[in-house]
């Protein structure tokens, strides 16, 4: 089978060369029929190369490409080295790069892009989500390889008043033979369309020669950068070419500062106000996200008792033990993505399960030797497609009371 395919490829390449030489000898532009014939033969050559099984030995040579290898890649580092060789002018393209993913995919080998092998891709993404402080807690929905987005129904509910729950459902206490009034829920459509996240990592020529070292460095760099960007999108995303973040959501509730409150301060009254705006049913999943600049304010926060005061925030085990900090029993998690002290969002009270995140599991890797050529460095670029947004469209008016509630609560600016 290999021999027959290789022979056909060689014959087609010779025919292409003959057609090109004929036009060169004539010294005129190539006729349209000849151009179409060459394109057809090139497409056929590509089909033949893609049909080569990956389980046996492979060697296909021509003036621009050589493919080799057998079976799947043994490590992520080995695949990165193969991508590196494919990106070099006149280099080798391992046939296994074309079979790195099973099922439908959007790989574009002609542009130098190859999907990361199926067993490496989930491990890389899992590492990125493990390094994240926010993303592991959200509602993550993987979508099929054939999809570029997700549409799902959401409940169009902005009030818990009678006749408004679930967007219009209402029940009645009725007497015998009383007529019942029909009602029904109201739905809205939540639409998520994949956005492209790109991570770039440089590697020296010395590092490229060492597969295990190459894998360790790029894996850590890629995982850390993807984790940071996903968390930042969940908190600060604009929704334009990237996920919509909590701070830009129409469902965000902002708690006002206290009268006379100083700049860059956090009071116990602020915390009480934020906690009271979280729906009761969401509090079991809620967490506090804070910028580390906020922590000194929390450690010195107190409740006035007569002419003195009592501390209201202490880490688990007090200051002498490893702290597992909490406020009102919910974890306090410091993250880089929250704004600095005094800016709205420096402290957030959020139920992360009310944030939707979709992703398409395949990673695409590309390589170039040109960006840092004079430094003996090559660059790897990784592409990951995802999208996200809060599942609530607006704050909720409670059944009793007027202060709206939401699973996304922040404290107003105190500049």
pLDDT of 85 over the 50 cut: yes
Q: What is the pLDDT of residues 201-240, one digit of tens each?
A: 888 878 877 778 888 888 888 888 899 999 999 999 999 9
Q: What is the pLDDT of residues 256-304, one digit of tens each?
A: 999 999 999 999 999 999 999 999 999 999 999 999 999 999 988 888 7
pTM above the 0.85 mark?
no
Rounded distance, CA 409 to CA 251, Å?
9
SS3 196: strand
Token look-up 């509602």 returns 139
pLDDT at 94: 79
352 and 233 part of one domain: yes
Which of 74 and 393 is assigned the larger pLDDT? Answer: 393
The answer to whether 386 and 194 have CB atoms below 8 angstroms apart is yes
89 and 108 part of one domain: no
pLDDT of 51 over the 60 cut: yes
pLDDT at 89: 64
Q: Categorize the per-residue pLDDT at 134 as very low, low, confident or very high, splitting at 50, 70 and 90.
A: very high
Find the radius of gyration of the CA atoms of the chain.
29
Element (H, E) at 163: none
Q: What is the pLDDT of residues 346-378, one digit of tens each?
A: 999 999 999 999 998 667 777 777 777 777 788
pLDDT at 352: 97
pLDDT at 100: 53
338 and 402 part of one domain: yes
172 and 294 part of one domain: no
The answer to whether 261 and 412 have CB atoms below 8 angstroms apart is no
Rounded distance, CA 90 to CA 84, Å?
12
pLDDT at 67: 46
240 and 380 part of one domain: yes
Q: Average pLDDT of 322-326?
A: 64
233 and 172 part of one domain: no
Which of 167 and 113 is assigned the larger pLDDT? Answer: 167
Query: What are the C-alpha distances in Å from 318 to residues 96, 312, 366?
Result: 56, 12, 50
pLDDT of 392 over the 80 cut: yes
Which of 163 and 289 is assigned the larger pLDDT? Answer: 289
Structure tokens at 353: 């399960």
202 and 95 part of one domain: no
pLDDT at 61: 38
Q: What is the pLDDT of residues 19-42, one digit of tens each?
A: 767 755 655 556 667 767 776 776
Instruction: Count the residues in the chain.
Output: 415
Query: What are the C-alpha distances in Å from 248 to residues 28, 79, 196, 226, 238?
Result: 61, 39, 19, 21, 6
176 and 298 part of one domain: no
Rounded distance, CA 366 to CA 97, Å?
11
108 and 84 part of one domain: no
Report the candidate in 147, 6, 7 with the shortest Cα–Cα distance to residue 68: 6
SS3 308: strand
Q: Average pLDDT of 389-396?
A: 95
175 and 323 part of one domain: no
Domain holding 158, by residue range, is 153-192
pLDDT of 193 over the 90 cut: yes
Q: Given phi > 0 = left and psi -120 to 50 = alpha, else beta, which region is 5?
A: alpha
Q: Categorize the per-residue pLDDT at 383 as very low, low, confident or very high, splitting at 50, 70 and 90.
A: confident
Tally the domains of the chain.
3
* Average pLDDT across the chain, whole number: 81
Q: What is the pLDDT of residues 94-114, one digit of tens each?
A: 777 765 544 334 443 334 457
Q: What is the pLDDT of residues 2-12, one digit of tens each?
A: 677 777 887 88
Rounded distance, CA 114 to CA 93, Å?
11
407 and 258 part of one domain: yes
pLDDT of 323 over the 90 cut: no
Instruction: Write phi, then psi, for 383 (nearest 5 degrees).
Output: -120, 130
The answer to whether 85 and 92 have CB atoms below 8 angstroms apart is yes
Rounded distance, CA 138 to CA 235, Å?
12
22 and 139 part of one domain: no
Structure tokens at 241: 């070419």
Q: Average pLDDT of 241-261?
A: 97
pLDDT of 336 over the 80 cut: yes
pLDDT at 43: 67
pLDDT at 218: 82
pLDDT at 73: 82
SS3 151: strand
């Amino acid at each position: 089978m290999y021999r027959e395919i290789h022979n056909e490829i060689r014959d087609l390449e010779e025919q292409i060369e003959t057609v090109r030489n004929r036009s060169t000898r004539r010294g005129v532009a190539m006729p349209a029929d000849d151009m179409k014939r060459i394109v057809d033969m090139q497409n056929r050559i590509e089909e033949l190369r893609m049909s080569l099984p990956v389980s046996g030995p492979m060697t296909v040579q021509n003036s621009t490409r050589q493919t080799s290898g057998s079976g799947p890649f043994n490590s992520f580092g080995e695949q990165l080295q193969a991508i590196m060789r494919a990106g070099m002018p006149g280099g080798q393209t391992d046939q296994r790069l074309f079979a790195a993913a099973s099922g439908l995919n959007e790989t574009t080998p002609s542009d130098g892009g190859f999907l990361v092998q199926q067993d490496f891709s989930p491990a890389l993404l899992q590492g990125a989500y493990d390094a994240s402080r926010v993303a592991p807690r959200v509602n993550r929905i993987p979508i099929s390889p054939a999809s570029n987005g997700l549409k799902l129904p959401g409940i169009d509910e902005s009030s818990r008043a009678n006749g408004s729950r679930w967007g219009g459902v209402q029940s009645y206490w009725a007497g015998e033979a009383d007529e019942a009034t029909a009602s029904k829920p109201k739905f809205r459509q939540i639409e998520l369309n994949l956005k492209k996240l790109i991570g770039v990592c440089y590697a020296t020529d010395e590092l490229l020669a060492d597969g295990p070292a190459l894998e360790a460095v790029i894996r850590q760099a890629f995982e850390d950068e993807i984790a940071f960007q996903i968390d930042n999108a969940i908190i600060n995303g604009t929704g334009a070419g990237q996920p919509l973040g909590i701070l830009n959501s129409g469902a965000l509730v902002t708690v006002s500062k206290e009268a006379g409150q100083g700049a860059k301060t956090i009071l116990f009254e602020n915390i009480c106000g934020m906690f009271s705006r979280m729906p009761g049913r969401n509090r079991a999943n809620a967490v506090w996200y804070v910028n580390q600049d906020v922590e000194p304010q929390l450690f010195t926060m107190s409740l006035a008792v007569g002419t003195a005061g009592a501390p209201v925030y202490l880490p688990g085990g007090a200051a002498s033990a490893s702290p597992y900090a909490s406020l009102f029993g919910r974890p306090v998690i410091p993250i880089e993505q929250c704004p600095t002290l005094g800016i709205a969002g420096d402290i957030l009270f959020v139920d992360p399960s009310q944030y939707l995140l979709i992703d398409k599991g395949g990673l695409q890797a590309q390589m170039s030797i040109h960006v840092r050529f004079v430094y003996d460095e090559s660059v790897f670029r990784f592409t990951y497609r995802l999208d996200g947004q809060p599942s609530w469209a607006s704050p909720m008016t409670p059944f009793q009371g007027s202060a709206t509630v939401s699973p996304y609560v922040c404290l107003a600016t105190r500049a």
